[in-house]
Structure 1
Amino acid sequence: MAKPRPGRRRVAVAALVGSALAILAAAAHGRPADASVSAEAADALGVITPVPSTLGADPGRSAIGRLLFTDTRLSRGGDRACITCHDIRASGASAVPRNLTADGTPVPRNTPTAFNAALSFRLGWAGDIPTLREQAELALTRPEFLGGSWPRILDTVRGDPVLAPMFQAAYGRAADREAVIDAINSFERTLLTPDSRFDRWLRGDAHAITDAERAGYDLFRGIGCASCHQGVNVGGNLFEKVGIFVTIPDKVGEVLRVPSLRNVAVTAPYFDDGGIATLPEAVRLMARAQLGRELTPAQVDGIVAFLGTLTGAYEGRPLTAPPAPGAPRP
């Protein structure tokens, strides 16, 4: 018997680890890994699990968080809010490679989508943000994001005739730092995009995806993409050594969190520097750099077709790409 190549052994081991993590992710959301799916889809659940419809966020607290997510008064300049970069009216991200800080300089990395972020094991491209709580604190106060200060934030919400009674009703006290963060986190836990066509296929709808899309999924698994991109978020639960495929000149390799591929068809541009404009090009470069494979145009098209089935819906509306800067919103 031929001895397997080291690269193939690594892919096989990663696939086994990924399958185990996917099963754990399913269990964490209160369902067995093979519940309510067709026999054809049951094997796929070892790699990808459906997005849940809820994470049990408190409705009153998430309603406050929704208002805070769009409130520019929380920022240092009064001119930006979470939604400025995380456009939940479209893809939860933005159409530019890197958003600008308050002083007009680009932020270090491309803005990831806010949708399904609550399903990832860590946050940020580097995975250096452990929880949603830390993420909200950073977003509210760091100069490169909103740059707000807690005294001003609390004065704003406590003096607001709509927000103040909402905090009292939801928390039994006036707004404080922990309540503001919890409200934003409660809203972020509602930013889920269930009901993608692939998830419907996983749950037993044999006609939810086409034969070409199913073939693209088989290729996605067969060449090793699913070794890193698996679980409920099709990524977001592992770290990877990267650096070759990024487009910033002279950038050194580093360890980053494997990004989620949920809604990837509508979240261009791609990679942590936002340097690649199209999904086919991103697929081609990833296969070359991470798997050592040169895909044919037909193979790229097949994987892109599969990735298109991962676009879900928010509050019953399918996600769309955000408008280009300066373009009118439909």
Structure 2
Amino acid sequence: MKFLRIDRRIRRRFNLVALILLAILVALIWRHFLSSESVNLRATKPVEIAQTNEPIQPIPIAIAIDSAKVALGEKLFQDVRLSQNNRVSCVSCHNLSQGGAARRSHSPGIDGAKTKVNTPTVFNVRFNFRFNWDGEFERLFDHLDALMTNPKVMDTQWQKAIESFQNTPEYARSFNQIYPDGVTQTNIKDAIVAYELSLNTPNSRFDRFLSGNKQALTAAEQEGYRLFKAYGCVSCHQGVNVGGNMFQPFGAIGNYFADRGNITKADYGRYNITKNEADRYVFRVPSLRNVALTPPYFHDGSAETLEGAIAIMTKYQLGRPLSQEQIDLIAQFLRTLNGVYQGKAL
């Protein structure tokens, strides 16, 4: 039995090293993809990602945008006329003053109807490889379209909205200056997507640390980052967005859903899209950028604090419950991921 226990420890360490190496490989491939491909539609231009020797890369300080489209998209993002009842806008679920999310386990839509899952942040969305917790959409444009046509979210009445914007001089002028065909359904969504792609939060303290400023992080925060890597968190949370670039089962080691109980269809994750049994309880790994600002956590909004989310992750994803001191150190590191938007620290 003693040899068996030793063998298990060796295999666990081997698996951890393999996961970290895989994370670095995924990060390198994703960095190459971002630097050579456009993420979405005509609103996006190639993004140059800084080279580092770490599995996480800093968000680029400058990303080319179409300022006219972004300005128009920002207005549309806040305009309730895009909802059926003229009460809900994109910002209802993605409040930039609250980390680009809603800080609720489930966000309200049309007539108070609640979303089936927790709303992820819209900040740094350009660095996600798919959209929705179940990864249903490859393009941000299609993801936006699904939300706007969803009768429980926006339930956009397109003809009514188009006529309203055409009859608003400021909107009509902006659309005609940017788009040859003026106000159309496609152009409305294109402008909103351009705005969403501009919502980047570079220059976090951790980004500055990655860029060579070793004083940007305290000794405790650096130790938290070391633990984040040593215990394998970085195997899923890496790349520019510290996540957002792969699928993983929720409960890789323990059975989270059996322990939580009250399983719903929303808990099936990617299975709802593929109908492949292997995808049951599989989700897109969320980004940890600005994570300290967006409680509650997970697709079900079940973790109310950052420390609570870390404890759940280490138990069910890594199978290695950590001490409270270790959890606190990792939380200190994660708080250094809060970035800067429009010159102001989030």
Go from structure 1 to structure 2 and tell me whether the alpha carbon gap of 1:32 and 1:257 turns closer, same or farther (over 3 Å shift): closer
Q: 1:228 to 1:174 in 2, by over 3 A?
A: same
Aligned AA (1:303): I
Residue in 1 that maps onto 2:139: 131
What is the aligned counterpart of 2:263 among 250, 254, 257?
250
Q: How does 1:191-210 map to 2 (within 5 A)?
A: 191-210=199-218
Deviations 1:168-202 (A, max 9, x none): 11122211122111100100111000010000111
Assess if the C-alpha contact under 8 Å between 2:307 and 2:331 holds in 1: yes
Contact 1:116–1:233 under 8 Å retained in 2: yes
The answer on whether the counterparts of 1:91 and 1:263 sit within 8 Å (CA) in structure 2 is yes
Matched, 1:297 2:307: no
Q: Is the 8 A contact 2:49 2:57 kept in 1?
A: no
Residues 1:314 and 2:341 aligned together? yes
Gaps of 5+ in 2: 36-46, 268-279
Task: Give the residue type in structure 2 aligned to 1:156.
Answer: S
1:23·1:33 contact (CA, 8 Å) conserved in 2? Answer: no
Q: Secondary structure at the match of 2:249?
A: strand
Structure 2 equivalent of residue 12 of structure 1: 17
Report how far residue 104 of structure 1 moved. 2.4
* CA deviation profile, 1:197-230 (whole Å, cap 9, x unmatched): 0001111111111111000000000010000000
Amino acid aligned to 1:266: L
1:19, distance to aligned residue in structure 2 (A)? 1.0
Given the superposition, is the C-alpha separation of residues 70 and 248 from structure 1 closer, same or farther in structure 2, using an over 3 Å criterion? Answer: farther
Quote the sequence identity (%): 37
Q: String of CA shifts for 1:1-41, please: whole Å, max 9, x gaps.
A: 9767555444433322321222233332354653xxxxxxx
1:184 equivalent in alignment to 2:195: no
- What letter is aligned with 1:218? R
Q: What is the distance in 1 between the residues matched to 2:212 and 2:289?
A: 19
Q: Is the 8 A contact 1:287 1:294 kept in 2?
A: yes
Q: Give the TM-score normalised by the residue count of structure 2.
A: 0.84
Distance between the aligned counterparts of 1:205 and 1:271, measured in 2?
32
Match of 2:159 in 1: 151
How far residue 43 of structure 1 moved from its aligned partner, in angstroms, is 2.9
- Asked if the contact 1:54–1:190 (Cα under 8 Å) also holds between the matched residues in 2, the reply is no
- 1:43 partnered with 2:53: yes
Instruction: Report how many residues are paired.
Output: 310
Q: What does residue range 55-74 of structure 1 map to in structure 2 within 5 Å?
A: 55-74=63-82
Match for residue 61 of structure 2?
Answer: 53
Instruction: Report the Cα distance in structure 1 between the residues aligned to 2:261 and 2:184, rounded to whole angstroms.
Output: 41
User: Match for 1:103: what amino acid?
Assistant: D
Q: Which has the higher helix share?
A: 2
Query: Which residue in 2 is equivalent to 1:103?
Result: 111
Q: Which residue of 2 aligns with 1:39?
A: none
Query: Which residue of 2 is the match for residue 264 of structure 1?
Result: 291
d(CA) in 1 for partners of 2:145, 2:83: 12
The one-letter amino acid of 2:193's match is: N
Rate the CA distance shift 1:248–1:232 in 2: closer, same or farther, 3 A. farther
Deviation track 1:206-263 (CA, whole Å, cap 9, x = no partner) reads: 1111111000000000010000000000000000011543646235651100000000
CA distance in 2, matches of 1:49, 1:271: 23
User: What corresponds to 1:326 in structure 2?
Assistant: none
Query: Is 1:119 matched up with 2:130?
Result: no
Q: Provide the C-alpha distance between the structure 2 equivalents of 1:248 and 1:108, rounded to a whole number of angstroms.
A: 16
When structure 1 is superposed on structure 2, of 272-281 and 164-173 the one drifting more is: 164-173
Secondary structure of the structure 1 residue equivalent to 2:148: helix
Q: What's 1:25 paired with?
A: 30
Q: What aligned pairs does 1:214-229 form with structure 2 within 5 A after superposition? A: 214-229=222-237
| Segment drifting more, 148-157 vs 181-190 | 148-157
Q: Please say which of residues 17-26 and 136-145 is displaced more in the overlay.
A: 17-26
Deviates more, 1:130-139 or 1:299-308: 130-139
Say if 1:74 and 1:156, in contact at 8 Å, map to a contact too.
no
Secondary structure in structure 2 of the residue aligned to 1:240? strand
Structure 1 residue 281 and structure 2 residue 291: aligned? no
The two structures, once aligned, show a CA RMSD in angstroms of 2.0
Structure-2 residue corresponding to 1:322: none
Q: Is the 8 A contact 2:48 2:60 kept in 1?
A: no
- For residues 55-94 of structure 1, the aligned pairs below 5 Å read 55-94=63-102
State the 1:307 CA deviation: 0.2
Deviation at 1:149, TM superposition (A): 2.0
Unaligned runs of 5+ in 1: 35-41, 320-330
User: 1:156: how far off?
Assistant: 2.0
Q: Aligned equivalents of 2:189 and 2:14: distance in 1?
A: 44
